[in-house]
Structure 1
Amino acid sequence: MNQKQLRWQNIAMMAFVTVWGLGNVVNNFAQQGLTVVVSWILIMALYFVPYALSVGQLGSTFKESAGGVSSWIKETSTTKLAYYAAWTYWVVHIPYLAQKPQGILLALSWLFKGNGNFVNTVDAKVVSLICLAIFLVFLWVASKGLTTLKMIGNMAGTAMFVMSLLFILLAVSAPALRGTEVATANMTSLSTYMPKFDFAYLTTVSMLVFAVGGCEKISPYVNNTKNPAKEFPKGMLVLAGMVAVCALLGSIAMGMLFDANNIPADFMANGAYSAFERLGVHYNVGNLFVILYAIANAMAQISALAFSIDAPLKILLSDADPDYIPEKLSRLNKKGTPVNGYIFTGILVTILIVVPSLGIGNMNELFKWLTNLNSVVMPMRYLWVFLAFMWINKQHQKFSSEYKFVKNPKIGYLIGLWCFAFTAFACLLGMVPKVEYASAPKEYIFQLIMNILTPIVLIALGAIMPAIARRGKNKA
């Protein structure tokens, strides 16, 4: 798009499809029950709105930058920190890639068997080997080109978006239209929604941060917006409103279908499918909703797996500085594929698929652990967004933009600092395992070690790369 033809409603919709999904409702309801309703209100007001509007100002300031967050860091700081930003953006996808085969297995199980019982019955080691085989197949597929998968992904993404909205509509209206009983008692009482702000609660905040992150992907479109100073922030505010409405109504809908005081242990893995199964019963359509959701989810997971192998790696290597990225890693074959980069990705993901199964007993616990690990690791890339926002406010005389979130650079700097500190705080506390120490001490310790070591090792690898690159250059 060369013309400034996007309006605020286009920006809001594009960002909404990028940020939101039914999984965000399921994962947070699984951890907090109906108290998540108040948590959503707080996270939207205190974190997501300033986050989205900060992205608006960064996108407006660096309109011509194609590299996203790493370009923002390069402009406001040094090439070395820009490399670390690019590295972080890529490496946080490793746990994400390790979980995608599990999502594909689950979708296929619900599609062909009509249930997800295997998460509680099959040994984690067996599941890990199947997941590894699925991952290696798609690693090979991704190396051959992604055109068809991207098209499938776009269709599946739209279908998943429609299914998320359909779920809210059907679940909220079921008591009125079908006379169904509400599963959770006292849903009209305010106390049902009030969280206890204790340590256990704070360890679940990373999942909320994980749910609302990612709107920086929309920043390149600031340039294509009609009157960016007014319409882009308006689109971001509308996005925040849409996410808030879907989060609140989705959580209330879950409370209507499931007893929030007695959430099934496998809810993170099977919650969305079980919800559509119950809606099918309420509306007398059998397994229709489950089948539709399983097909859409399988296609979305397959596309996301192949696309997330390829895209983040190409972002890291496309503008690779030979001082930081080893030449061997960024070397392309005749088809333009970074083969060594794919092999390196394969090694890291294989380790993260296989090793956890040695200390985690069943598929359900493995699924929950990987979901929580993603909520710790993925938000690490948002830290660079807030650093860039702090730095453009610190160097406000050097940068100008059509849109400014706040005109006072000192207040802007403090907002960036708050979002940075809150994200770091959520990531650190998110490392605390969600299994009880008393009931499973060995698994608790194993998960805690893995939660601490995984982000440290992934970032440490980024610190080693420049040394390998220098050694390679000296040899050459």
Structure 2
Amino acid sequence: MKEDVINLDLNKKHYLTWPVIALIDFVTIISFENIFYPFQNQGLSVVISWIFLLFSYVIPYALISSQMSLTFDNQEGGLASWVRRSSNDTLGYWTSWMYWVQSVPYIVDVSNSVIVSFSWIIFGDNSLDKKMSTFWFGMLTFVIILAFILLENRLRNSLEILSLLGGGAMFIMSMLFVALAAWAVMHGGHKIATQPFNWGAFKPSFSLNYFSTTGLLIFAMSGAELAAPYVSQMKNPKRDFPKAMWMLAIMTGFLTIFGTLALAMFFNAHHIPHDFKMNGPYYAFRLLGESLGMGKVLMYIFAVVQAIFMMAQLAVLLDASSRVFAGDVADKFMPKWLTKKNKNGRPIHSYTFTVGLSLFLLLLTGTLPNINTIYNWLLNINGIISPYKTCWVFFAFVAMRMHQEKYKSDYVFIKNRTGALAVGFWCLIFTFICASLGFVPQNVDFGTAEFNHQLVLNIITVIVLFGLGYILPWMRKREKMREEAK
């Protein structure tokens, strides 16, 4: 009898709860530093942008992801499967390609963040830009990417654990900053830096810069579809998965809105440091620690957490980007050599692609004047490419709802077909426009040589990264011709 109970426990399936899924998705989507570059771009008016996006975009996005995840709950390719099953194989391939290639600028960006975090741990200040040339910054970034690829086979599992721990610690540090900032101001330990702190400070300035930086807000808040693979690991996904998406939207809204208000307490929204995107989080925790009489302790704690989180995220990103094509792509689009796997089950040649494209981006950044400009430019590239990828979420939803009689889902977002299509088209068009406006260079004056330089870099980068997607089907076609000739 006792042995039967033991066997029953061993066979019992372990299910993930909806709060756990929400937390896993949250730490993958948004981190503390994601509120800094929108604050530099739009000032305190970004609070209005966050609130508007929360209700008109983030919540619909999360619930659309709920329906798509529960409609296509047995597909391995995630977003690519949504598009492939709701439209055709060709669009499914392009979704896979764009989903993979949009991770490359982010991989380079995360590698940059690793270097910045260690510079704060070692030097305790913002002197990296003065102590390292752009050439060596690019070389060190490339070495970090290459090192993590070489160590991927041995460290992957441990770094996924570190990613969860680092992500959880980052979430705690973010919430701690908001809470302690409010406490410091209410108890007289710190005066509000943004003055005047009134309704006028929140008024948006509807300029070209304002609209061209909205893509970065979408980049900061997007990724709800990443939770799709966890649907099969839930006991009652019909009831609980939408709950996880609601929790995700609420947590995202809390961090973006209240985190921005906390930043306004320590930084004058009208005079933000020029290197705020790169060094802002460290400035914030240093100022918070000083206002609480703790010196630089909080800043060093944050720097260590940031380093661990970014290194673990880099390992997971490299692994995920190497596997994406093994998920759900039609055979006619993918050369066999690219999907060839080593003894550990990894498609090794896709790592070569990742290294090559990372090197291409680093060569482009070598034409920029300093490390701060490189950091900002890579963020801006993510604000273009990532929203273009997100467009496929809404495309798949619209395609599915237009022929909803063909699909069965345990959860339906907006039962009225016309209403659902209206929301889907709104999200699709809004995301596409924001991504396209992201081509306009930021933090540089319009019409200057630097503006034109960055505009050319933006265009070249997007053409190369997306355009390379045409080569793989051509290579597969040539491969099949050789096979038939034999």
TM range (shorter): over 0.9
Matched, 1:452 2:459: yes
Equivalent positions of 1:333-412 (< 5 A) are 333-358=342-367, 360-412=368-420
Mean Cα deviation higher: 232-241 or 394-403: 232-241
Query: Does the 8 Å CA contact 2:83/2:92 hold for their aligned counterparts?
Result: yes
Q: Once superposed, what is the RMSD of the aligned Cα atoms?
A: 2.0
Equivalent positions of 1:52-201 (< 5 A) are 52-119=62-129, 122-187=132-197, 189-201=198-210
Task: After superposition, give the CA deviation of every residue in 1:323-362 in whole Å (9 maximum; x if it has no partner).
Answer: 111112111233333222111211110110122212x100
Mean Cα deviation higher: 420-429 or 442-451: 442-451
Query: Does the 8 Å CA contact 1:184/1:260 hold for their aligned counterparts?
Result: yes
Task: After superposition, give the CA deviation of every residue in 1:207-264 in whole Å (9 maximum; x if it has no partner).
Answer: 1111110011112334454654444334323322222122111001000001111000
Q: How many residues align?
A: 473
Q: Which of 271, 293, 298 is 1:289 aligned to? A: 298
Distance in 1 (alpha carbons) for counterparts of 2:400 and 2:329: 24
Distance in 1 (alpha carbons) for counterparts of 2:349 and 2:29: 31
Give how far 1:18 is off.
2.9
Task: After superposition, give the CA deviation of every residue in 1:421-461 in whole Å (9 maximum; x if it has no partner).
Answer: 111111111110013346x8222112111112212211111
Distance in 2 (alpha carbons) for counterparts of 1:65 and 1:244: 30
Give how far 1:99 is off.
1.5
Query: Does the 8 Å CA contact 1:24/1:211 hold for their aligned counterparts?
Result: yes
Distance in 2 (alpha carbons) for counterparts of 1:326 and 1:11: 34
Distance in 1 (alpha carbons) for counterparts of 2:38 and 2:223: 17
Mean Cα deviation higher: 120-129 or 28-37: 120-129
Query: Does the 8 Å CA contact 1:122/1:362 hold for their aligned counterparts?
Result: no
Distance in 2 (alpha carbons) for counterparts of 1:258 and 1:277: 12
Matched, 1:44 2:54: yes
| TM-aligned CA distance change 1:179 to 1:335, over 3 Å | closer
SS at match of 2:430: helix
- Residue 63 of structure 1 aligns to which amino acid in structure 2? D
Query: Does the 8 Å CA contact 2:114/2:310 hold for their aligned counterparts?
Result: yes
Mean Cα deviation higher: 428-437 or 49-58: 428-437
Distance in 2 (alpha carbons) for counterparts of 1:382 and 1:365: 26
Distance in 2 (alpha carbons) for counterparts of 1:4 and 1:110: 41
* Structure 2 equivalent of residue 262 of structure 1: 271
TM-score in terms of structure 2 length: 0.92
| TM-aligned CA distance change 1:50 to 1:105, over 3 Å | same
- Residue 114 of structure 1 aligns to which amino acid in structure 2? G
TM-score in terms of structure 1 length: 0.94
Distance in 2 (alpha carbons) for counterparts of 1:73 and 1:235: 23
The gaps in structure 2 that reach 5 residues or longer are 1-10
Task: After superposition, give the CA deviation of every residue in 1:391-422 in whole Å (9 maximum; x if it has no partner).
Answer: 11011111121111111122212211111111
Distance in 2 (alpha carbons) for counterparts of 1:130 and 1:7: 40
Distance in 2 (alpha carbons) for counterparts of 1:47 and 1:318: 28
- Residue 453 of structure 2 aligns to which amino acid in structure 1? F
* Structure 1 equivalent of residue 468 of structure 2: 461
Query: Does the 8 Å CA contact 1:375/1:427 hold for their aligned counterparts?
Result: yes
Give how far 1:318 is off.
4.4
Task: After superposition, give the CA deviation of every residue in 1:286-307 in whole Å (9 maximum; x if it has no partner).
Answer: 2211111111111111112222
- Residue 364 of structure 1 aligns to which amino acid in structure 2? N
Distance in 2 (alpha carbons) for counterparts of 1:233 and 1:320: 27
Distance in 1 (alpha carbons) for counterparts of 2:401 and 2:153: 41
Mean Cα deviation higher: 92-101 or 105-114: 92-101
Distance in 2 (alpha carbons) for counterparts of 1:243 and 1:333: 39
Query: Does the 8 Å CA contact 1:129/1:354 hold for their aligned counterparts?
Result: no
Query: Does the 8 Å CA contact 1:394/1:410 hold for their aligned counterparts?
Result: no
Percent of matched pairs sharing the same residue = 33
- Residue 197 of structure 1 aligns to which amino acid in structure 2? F
Equivalent positions of 1:288-327 (< 5 A) are 288-327=297-336
Task: After superposition, give the CA deviation of every residue in 1:72-125 in whole Å (9 maximum; x if it has no partner).
Answer: 112111122111111111110111111222111110011111012223564322
Mean Cα deviation higher: 222-231 or 367-376: 222-231
- Residue 294 of structure 1 aligns to which amino acid in structure 2? A
* Structure 1 equivalent of residue 283 of structure 2: 274
| TM-aligned CA distance change 1:434 to 1:299, over 3 Å | same
